């Protein structure tokens, strides 16, 4: 169950008229394949079990699990820059004069096209959990950019997908600050962990506490001076522990001993698919119920404008910037 650690939650608007068989066929049309020689990034669906030629869709009692495979050719900026500079220097020596900016750009493009097919390929897999009973989609990804890439692929696969980030009536930062500063306000089966990030309103002053007593005088004094909690380690008794962020993302999920024991007790006879189905069913039940509790503790779900999510780009140290 280690694969289910970081998730971002989205509310599905409207209904998706696609049964299990139709969805499986649609996924097959966008199956993961190695990127072509001139493809910097390629995304497609692969088997959640990790076994070749296995099912692209796992469904257990209305809970669907999909896995996006993202293949990226890694061409370091430094390698590209060195080769371009070498070719420009050789050309200037041959001509006995400077190479212009436009010609340098053309050389860079040519070098990029030549080196890209030789670049190493890094593969990253992102799980998508589609809870059809609650109308929620959760993407197990740390960054919003990667989560929305998975949603974009799902949107392309389905033809249409309207989702918005899950939001609550009470902002998580306000609730976390209240829970930390007022022990009596904490829900009965919600416990504080030993990590928190506190921010000062209106500036970049950040205090990070790890392996600390959050009820200590020192931590309470930080709250009293006006700092607000942007990240807070929490534990839902007998279910799981995690860190809640102010954008309602959930990181570092660790399931309780009882749930892990239940998973280990499930016999799979070494079958990866049976193991996956068992772990997924336990995860979906535990996390689904925890999300319901969080929504209740945060004043219920906020009304969201029905809009399509726009992709977010994120710079990296490699070319292409993808």
Q: What is the pLDDT of residue 203?
A: 67
The token pair at 104 is 């340098």
User: 238 and 141, same structural domain?
Assistant: no
Residue 107 makes CB contacts below 8 A (sequence gap 6+) with 84, 87, 88, 91, 99
Q: What is the pLDDT of residue 279?
A: 92
For 165-203, write each residue's pLDDT tens digit: 999 999 999 999 999 999 999 999 999 999 999 998 766
| Domain region containing 111 | 77-116
Q: What is the pLDDT of residue 272?
A: 83
Q: Give a yes or no: residue 109 inside a domain.
A: yes
User: 157 and 109, same structural domain?
Assistant: no
User: 96 and 205, same structural domain?
Assistant: no
d(CA 319, CA 79) in angstroms, rounded, equals 10
Residue stretches of the chain with pLDDT short of 70: 53, 202-203, 304-322
d(CA 29, CA 283) in angstroms, rounded, equals 28
User: 238 and 149, same structural domain?
Assistant: no
User: 197 and 254, same structural domain?
Assistant: yes
Measure CA 273 to chain center.
23
Beta bridge partners of 46: 67
Residue 196 makes CB contacts below 8 A (sequence gap 6+) with 180, 208, 209, 212, 214, 219, 229, 231, 232, 233
Q: What is the pLDDT of residue 316?
A: 32
User: 126 and 252, same structural domain?
Assistant: no
Q: What is the pLDDT of residue 154?
A: 97
Q: What is the pLDDT of residue 124?
A: 95
């Amino acid at each position: 169950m280690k694969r289910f650690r970081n998730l971002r939650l989205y509310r599905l608007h409207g209904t998706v008229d696609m049964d299990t068989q139709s969805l499986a066929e649609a996924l097959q049309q966008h199956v993961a394949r190695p990127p072509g020689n001139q493809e910097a990034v390629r995304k497609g669906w692969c088997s959640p079990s990790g076994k070749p030629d296995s099912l692209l869709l796992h469904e257990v009692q209305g809970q669907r699990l999909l896995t996006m495979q993202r293949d990226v050719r890694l061409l370091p900026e430094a390698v590209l820059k060195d080769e371009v500079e070498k070719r420009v220097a050789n050309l200037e020596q041959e001509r006995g004069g400077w190479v212009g900016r436009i010609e340098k750009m053309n050389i860079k493009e040519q070098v990029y096209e030549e080196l890209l097919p030789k670049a190493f390929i890094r593969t990253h897999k992102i799980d998508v959990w589609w809870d059809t009973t609650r109308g929620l989609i959760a993407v197990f990804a740390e960054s919003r950019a990667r989560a929305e890439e998975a949603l974009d692929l799902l949107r392309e696969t389905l033809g249409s997908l309207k989702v918005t980030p899950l939001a609550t009536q009470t902002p998580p930062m306000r609730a976390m600050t209240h829970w930390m500063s007022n022990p009596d306000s904490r829900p009965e089966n919600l416990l504080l962990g030993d990590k928190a990030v506190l921010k000062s309103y209106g500036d970049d002053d950040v205090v990070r506490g790890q392996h600390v007593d959050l009820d200590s005088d020192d931590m309470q004094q930080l709250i009293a001076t006006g700092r607000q909690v942007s990240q807070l380690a929490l534990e839902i008794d007998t279910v799981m522990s995690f860190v809640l962020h102010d954008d309602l993302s959930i990181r570092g999920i660790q399931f309780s001993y009882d749930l892990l024991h239940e998973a280990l007790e499930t016999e799979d006879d070494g079958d990866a698919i049976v193991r996956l189905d068992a772990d997924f069913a336990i995860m979906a039940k535990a996390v689904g119920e925890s999300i319901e509790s969080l929504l209740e503790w945060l004043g219920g779900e906020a009304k969201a404008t029905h809009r399509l999510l726009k992709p977010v780009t994120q710079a990296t140290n490699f070319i292409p910037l993808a």
